[in-house]
Amino acid sequence: MGNGGSDVAEVARQSKKDCRVYVGNLSYEVRSEDLSDFMRDGASGKVVHAEVLLLPNGYSKGCGIVEFSHPEDAQKAITQLSDTDLKGRPVFIREDRENEARYGAPPSRGNFRGFGGHGGYGAPPPPPAAAPGAQLYIGNLPYSAGWQDLKDMFRAAGNVVRADINIGPDGRSKGSGIVVFANPEDAQNAISQFNGTDWNGRPIEVREDRFAGSAGGFGFGGASERNLPPAEPSQQIFVKNLPWSTSNEDLVELFQTTGKVDEAEVLIEGTRSKGVGVVQFASISDAETSIAKFQGYVYGGRALDIEYNRSWRDFRSGGHVNDVQMS
């Protein structure tokens, strides 16, 4: 629909989840206006907004969101229009499972840092481990694809809990990722539906993730330190296996979900991140909570390894490490 930017923002603000439907398997030539006309004519309901979701290059993701004025119209669209033809393809329609509408949002451009539909590294608390058989490996992805693109595509198969892009040492996509579903049945649906599907000229590979629940699948490091005795509890934690692109602000955003963060710093060698950082909390109990919640947490495609900091970092003196070692 041809709403202006301010109108779209207002529609998104007033959006009601039970009035929205997700439409998948769209032909790549379908535009938002086509989707609006199709849903209005077929469901005989008032369409408030219709939007085809786009990749960073402007191409359609092959899916979209439609919002009706009444929940009854949304349900009618699901029952009457699922599997009907739109420009040569039978569309898939179900309730939109996102809590908030993202109308007018710019296409994600390599945004590899978010999880499960939240817009940053640290917005949600750590998710629970995937149920057996519910985590999938997705290979041969376009390098421009971000986590939101991945989630938008795969939620046609079921309830997506989380979607991540795997990141290389240069901070760029490896062309692969993982998708975690709420149950293994939805994961199997995704394999059947998407394995071999063409995405922006690339046939993607979709299979069960052999490393689900294993930190080794995400480049987990630090095994040589496992023989050290536990560090003395303190207000500071030492965070290992960070994505190379992690900033100080990212650390704050992530860990402030568990307590009050006083300081946070990614350690640098020359001009590059070491892939580790130090976070200082207002209390030892906050530090303890952060370790309990984030140990092994998959962050930007990497499983975090966290412990109390063994060498107190004095942020006030330029971030140098004091000589006092914490046993």
Q: Encoding tokens for residue 33?
A: 């206006």
Burial code of 302-313, b = ≥16 C-beta within 10 A, e = fewer? bbbbbbbbbebb
**Residue partners of 11: CB distance under 8 A and separation at least 6:** 3, 48, 49, 67, 101, 103
pLDDT digits 0-9 by tens, 165-179: 887 656 678 888 889
Give phi and psi for 16, each to the nearest 5.
Answer: -120, 125
The most confident of 95-109, 185-199, 222-236, by mean pLDDT: 185-199
**Quick one: pLDDT at residue 323?**
33
Q: Where is pLDDT greater, at 70 or 63?
A: 70
In which band, very low, low, confident or very high, does the pLDDT at 127 lie, cut at 50, 70 and 90?
very low
Residue 142 in this model has a pLDDT that exceeds 50: yes
Q: Are 92 and 21 in contact (CB under 8 A)?
A: no
* Average of per-residue pLDDT across 247-256: 83
**Quick one: pLDDT at residue 88?**
82
CA dist 177 and 166 (Å) reads: 5
What is the model's pTM? 0.43
Of 160, 161, 200, 36, residue with least CA distance to 103: 36
* Average of per-residue pLDDT across 241-262: 83
In which band, very low, low, confident or very high, does the pLDDT at 144 lie, cut at 50, 70 and 90?
confident
In which band, very low, low, confident or very high, does the pLDDT at 106 lie, cut at 50, 70 and 90?
low
Which amino acid appears at position 100 of this protein?
E
Of 286, 285, 268, residue with least CA distance to 277: 268
**Quick one: pLDDT at residue 123?**
32
CA dist 317 and 135 (Å) reads: 45
**Quick one: pLDDT at residue 57?**
60
Give phi and psi for 99, each to the nearest 5.
Answer: -75, -30
**Quick one: pLDDT at residue 87?**
85
**Quick one: pLDDT at residue 234?**
93
Residue 225 in this model has a pLDDT that exceeds 80: no
**Quick one: pLDDT at residue 219?**
34
Delineate the domains of the chain, giving CATH numbers in brackets: 5-95 (3.30.70.330), 135-213 (3.30.70.330), 223-325 (3.30.70.330)
Please provide the average confidence, as pLDDT, over all residues in the chain.
77
* Average of per-residue pLDDT across 8-18: 84
Beta bridge partners of 235: none
Which strand (E) or helix (H) includes residue 307? strand 305-308
Terminal-residue alpha carbon distance, the chain? 63
Task: Give the residue carrying structure tokens 């608390």.
Answer: 125
| Length of the chain (residues) | 327
Q: Are 14 and 32 in contact (CB under 8 A)?
A: no
